[in-house]
Chains A and B, each alone.
Chain A
Amino acid sequence: MLTFILRRLLSAIPTLILVSLFVFTLQKLLPGDPVQAMAGEERDPAVMEYLREKYRLNDPLPLQYVHWVGNVLQGDFGTSLRTEQPVTVLLASKLPVTIELAVLALIIALVIGIPTGVISAVRKGTSVDYAANVFALSGISIPHFWLGILLIMIFAVKLQWLPASGFVPLGEDVGQNLKTLILPAFVLGAGLSGVLMRHTRSAMLEVLRADYVRTARAKGLFPRTVILKHALRNALMPIVTLTTLLFGELLGGAVLTEQVFSIPGFGKMIVDAVFNRDYAVVQGVVLCVAIGFLLLNLLADVLYRLINPRLRTA
């Protein structure tokens, strides 16, 4: 197992190098001279030269790349041009909010997606199955941000049960925190539950045809036992890996949801950075997200091996 993890980590290195090259090239392709922007109105040649030296912009490009990667390896992802805070500090303050939102959304998605998937597989071809499929496809097709707007109009504007936007940190007040996050988490989770439902359904249909399920039925076990203990357990295997990968997608979806609900997470940070032309932040975020995504991929592979005994010895 350990050698497997090591091998997978090693194989992620070329991908990481490519991602870093990609991010570095984006930075260099940017229109405009960053030094001119930093030097202020006067554009004193001495100041500009000093800045060029300071940020090593006079070095040849490959050397600049090596230097930049060296910084990244030491945990220095650059500094926000606007707030002059290190990108890592910014990320550390924003990411927990997004992760909490993503975890809540994932819970909602699992609670809705897996049972509906199981039910629609067991009742294949009935109106229940049909309704579940329509629901799942709608969840996939509906624009997150629009669903968010609709829910705000219903629950915040009309019924006034929940706040329309804003955010209370978890550490301050748990109840208020959940109140501000429940709508965005539902918005994010709804789309995901559709994906999960479709995958659970097809995995269950596959498993329900298996011989051991027929045997379990033949020996007179309760249908519920057969479905939950024999079928679902095996059908869940691909779902576990899928869920790990979907967590990465959630980060993408969070960008829009946070924008609609004005939640100060990492998604809102990247959008604000884009509009403030704070490219250092955009870059740092893309790199961090890519690293996180690669780690999630690794986790998915490891989990799959752990829960699938047939692959354990490989």
Chain B
Amino acid sequence: MTSIATHPSAPLNAPSQAPLREPLRPRTRSPFVKKFLANKGAVVGAVVLIIFILAALLAPWIAPHDPLKANFLAVRKAPSLIYWLGTDELGRDLFSRLLWGARSSLLAGGVSVAIAMVIGVPLGLLAGYFGGKLDAVISRIMEALLSCPFLVLAIALGAFLGPSLSNAMIAIGLSAMPIFSRLTRGQVLAIRHEDYLEGARAIGLPDRWIILRYVLPNVLSPLVVQATLTIASAILAEASLSFLGLGQQPPSPSWGSMLNTAKNFMEQAPWMSIAPGVAIYITVLCFNLLGDGLRDALDPKS
């Protein structure tokens, strides 16, 4: 029988004057970082997103105009040196509104996915770990929530909660929650009978400890990938709700509500429709690229 302590690199009879300093090793990048950096799309996505997030954070300082101040002398002006992206129907600068609107879009993406994960992941952990009746109940509830298309559910919830950005985030988060619960449950089921979990149970660790210290870290990476991809759908959903008038309320800018107004001026001021749409499209595209890249980099099979 071999003892765990006898590791080939640490012979028991090692001389006591052995150097304590670790031998110098060449710096190696983890395979994850290497794979991620090799994926050009994912890197571009990450860089663009960092720029967007910075722009949103710095909006009060870098926006050239007040996003809310109407100027009736400059109504629906085409893009120019003063108004880089033109002005809207109240003479507000579109570039400044775009920067401020980035805040609501990115915030909505992040917060709604956080809501979805905070509720969905623990439910999935419980359902997968304990199984039995608890699993049956949780899984049925998730199925019921999943039986309604994401957007229809978010619209219905948004309607009942009342139109506002925070309610839109709650509605999107609740609609996205079953995705995380299901994914977590599936991942837990896959590892439930692994030796390290059996071992942890055998030495009598409490379930709460096992779930937090042994199960959760081992199911985390698919959750990170899913979170990134869900932020993309959440931003689209927030834009959709705002476009319908169920999200950010005027006069505060949001990309979706900017498009809602812009559609009334397609002939007179087509530029009003271009910038917010491009902004949503690029942000969502970058989150998708990032998510795909993370998935490929975290997948041990590839």
Contacts and interface: CB of A to CB of B under 8 A. Distances in A.
Contact of A18 (B141, B236, B240, B244): B141
Interface in A56-87: none
Interface size class of B (residues with CB under 8 A): 35 or more
B262 A26 contact: no
Given A138-B285, A143-B281, A19 B147 contact: yes
A102 to B, nearest CB: 11
Interface in B232-266: 232, 236, 239-240, 243-246, 256, 259, 262-263, 266
A143 B277 contact: yes
B223 interface: no
Contacts, number: 126
B78 to A, nearest CB: 15
Contacts of A15: 140, 143-144, 147
Interface string A234-255: 0000000000000011011101
Among A253, A260, A290, A297: residue with most chain B CB under 10 A: A290
B152 A274 contact: no
B60 to A, nearest CB: 26
Chain A interface main SS type: helix
A125 interface: no
B160 A141 contact: no
A162 to B, nearest CB: 14
Contact of A275 (B245, B256, B262): B245
Given A256-B244, A271-B155, 11 more contacts: A26-B160, A141-B281, A153-B270, A157-B266, A157-B270, A164-B266, A256-B240, A259-B244, A260-B263, A282-B159, A286-B153
Closest 4 A/B residue pairs (Cβ) = A252-B149, A146-B277, A18-B144, A274-B159
Interface of A: 14-16, 18-19, 22, 26, 29-30, 137-138, 140-146, 149-150, 152-153, 157, 164, 248-249, 251-253, 255-256, 259-260, 270-271, 274-275, 279, 282, 285-286, 289-290, 293-294, 297
